[in-house]
Each structure stands twice: as structure tokens, then as C-alpha cells.
Amino acid sequence: MLPDSVDFNKSEQYLLSIRLGADGFSFSVYNPIRSRVVLTQRKEIETELSMTANMRKALAELDFLSYTYKQTNALIAGWRFTLIPLELFAEDRVETCFYYNFSPEENETVLYDTLPGNGAAILYALDKSLYDLLREQYPQVRFQSSVSSLAEHLAVKSRLGADKKMYVYVRPGFIEVYAYERGHLMLLNAYGCKNGSDRVYYLLYAWKQLAMDQQADELCIMGGGEDKDRLVEEMRRFIRCVTVHPVSGFNFP
């Protein structure tokens, strides 16, 4: 069913965003004329089905996905991504570079975003059947790693305050780590974590490798619910300046 408060006769004025992750799908519809989100919807995935089959079900069950939008953005959330400095990036070598770091998986396509604020390109993979399905449903769809817009936003935000800042996004099963020195990217990586001890280990290891100061530099933790709260408590045993930032407070696209 469609919400009564949204006029989908005007859907061609709206922007549709779809976030695709192993923890579920999230959808939002944004009205750029009024500068506000007019609909949000989350859908849990059925783990016995493929991501493509789950998306087919979502397209069949959620009426608002059948409309034509001014723009559709598909954000790919996952830990399989790698960075290349822009000066070394070549479009015809995307797959070769990506598979230096990851083993190939069946039926996938490798995509990339450029991050001018970070001086890098990010390479990531998506199931090809899911890619084709979204292209068929939304011919003008734009794919992007969920890391990209956040990395660009943090490159600007990190210029304020402490010389070095580490931002940690707590996700189900992994963490994303962004580290900057006055806007200059030092590290962008993801670490698979089975428990809280893994998170603490990887963060302290990265902190040490980057020669960050426990007294002067800042650790900012985002996302994660209860997992985030436990991580904050644990990291404050080792680092003086630990802050918590709700992702909604960052105002990135």
C-alpha cells in the first residue's frame, strides 16, 4: 500500500534511494522541491533467498517501487571494497585491481566510484543478476558504494578540531574505519568482526599503525546500536577523546 500523504502522481519529481545490504534493504523517497524525505521503508531479507530474489519480492510487494522517479540511486553496503589513488586508477583495470585483494565470486560485476575529495577511486562488487534487475527496473539508476558519500563528507569534516581523527561505522558483522589528518585520507578499510573484542583489536591496531595520539587525537563512533555503546565504553579505556555521532547528524547525501 502507498502512504496517503505522498502524491505519487508527482513521482517523476522525486528521488528514490535504495540501500542494499546483507542486513536488509532500505528505501527512501525524497522530494527535492520541498527538501524533505516523504517516505522511508525498511525490508528484512529472507536469508534462504538470493539478494536478487529478495529484490524481486520487494519490487512485487512495495507499490511505490513501481513508479518512475527523476533519479534512482542504489547504495551498495558491504565490506568488499578497495581503494586506488586517482593517479593510478584506470577504468580498464578495475577488475584486475579489485581481485588483487578479493577472491572472485560467482556472477558478479565490479563497479567503481571516484572520490575527488579523498584523491582515490573505490572499487566494489555487486551480484550481476541484481545489477541487471535494477537496470531493467530503473534504466537511469546510479550505483554507488555506501562508503563513498560518507568518505567525501568526512574528508571535509575532519579538517576541524584535532589534527588526526578516526571515524568508525559499526555495521552488523564488520566495521568501516575512516582516518584523516586535517582532511587528508590516511586509511579507509573494513574489518570483519565476530564480537566486540575483534572491534577493539582492529581499532587499536589501526590506531597504533597510524601513530595516533591517545591523548590528543579523536575517535568518532557511528551506527551500531548496542554494539556501538559497548564499543564506546571499551575504547574509552584506551583513548581519551571518544565521541559518538548519530549518522543522521552528519547531513551527507
Whole-structure pTM value = 0.86
b/e sequence 227-240, b meaning 16+ C-beta within 10 Å: bbebbbebbeeebe
* pLDDT tens sequence across 181-214: 999 999 999 998 888 899 999 999 999 999 999 9
Query: What percent of the chain shows pLDDT beyond 70?
Result: 94
Q: Give which of 143, 188, 194, 145 is closest to 169, Cα–Cα.
A: 188
Enter the DSSP assignment of 177: E
**pLDDT attached to residue 161:** 78
Domain ranges, ordered by start, for the chain: 1-152, 158-249
- Phi and psi at 118, nearest 5°, equal -110, 0
CA of 112: how far to CAs of 34, 105, 130, 136, 141, in Å?
Answer: 31, 17, 16, 20, 14
Question: Thinking of the domain 158-249, which architecture would CATH place it in?
Answer: 2-Layer Sandwich (3.30)
Rounded to 5 degrees, φ, ψ at 229 are: -60, -40
User: Hey, do 1-152 and 158-249 end up sharing a CATH topology, with the first three levels equal?
Assistant: yes
Q: Which CATH class is domain 1-152?
A: alpha beta
Query: What was the pLDDT predicted at 18?
Result: 96
Asked if the model's pLDDT at residue 252 lies above 60, the reply is no
Query: Quick one: pLDDT at residue 197?
Result: 92
**Band of the pLDDT at 145, cuts 50, 70, 90?**
very high
Q: What is the mean pLDDT of residues 216-229?
A: 86
**Residue 230 three-state SS:** helix
